[in-house]
Structure 1
Amino acid sequence: MTSSIALEERPFTRRGVLSTVSSFYDPCGFLSPVMLRGKQILQELCRSKLDWDSPMPDNLRPAWKRWLQEVFHLEKLQIARCYKPHDFGQVKAAEIHHFSDALKNGYGQCSDICFVNTEDKAHCCFVLGKS
């Protein structure tokens, strides 16, 4: 399955950044590592107390343009949605692991499910993430 990303061109303003960052539908958080940088740029714009339609400061433009270019690499992203591999065998144990971390300018959380089969082989798979 292939997907395509079509970003509407928006002005380099606080309103435009918010609109672009908010336009991604990602309920499971697969895109969280990429989206975090877009959200951090929005944070910087909010901290600068710029008006919603004031032009983006020159110091943030390169980072924003770089982020917009990086977003298109997500078209290559492929995600297997089956948590347990087909040939894994019988599961004898399953655990859900949660990880989180926070910094001044962002936080991240992810949940994984880990299976152990009757041969004591383990398989872990991403379930959910947030940033």
Structure 2
Amino acid sequence: MMPGPQACRECGCTQDRACVTDGVACHWVQPDLCSACADQPTADEVKKAALFFDILQDARNAGKGWWASSQYRQIELSIEQDRKIVVLRTALLAASNALRSYQYGNGATDLAKSIADSCDAALKAAMAP
């Protein structure tokens, strides 16, 4: 302990009247600050932390809207791409069927026209709602 009467600048405890935290008496960590108060944040630190958390909460709330809209847009794009893939797969299947049909004699005289007609029909069917 330091010589002479002293008091903590935060809580006012003295050498004769110490703070007791969890059954342990405080000790001096600075000439005018006890160990119990040194472990506690100052009022300025509490204000700064509160301001930081307010700003963080505002940023989080603002980010939620952006995140949600970007997630929905990604889902929309994914669905749109899935539709395109289905349409292309349908057209490819129609072209394959037209070629197979032509090979086995469906009466078509022009292979290209037969494939184009089959693809057009498949695309129209796939694009219909």
TM value normalised by structure 1: 0.24
TM value normalised by structure 2: 0.24
**Greater relative contact order (CA < 8 Å, ≥ 6 in sequence):** 1
Structure number having the greater helix percentage = 2
Structure number having the greater strand percentage = 1
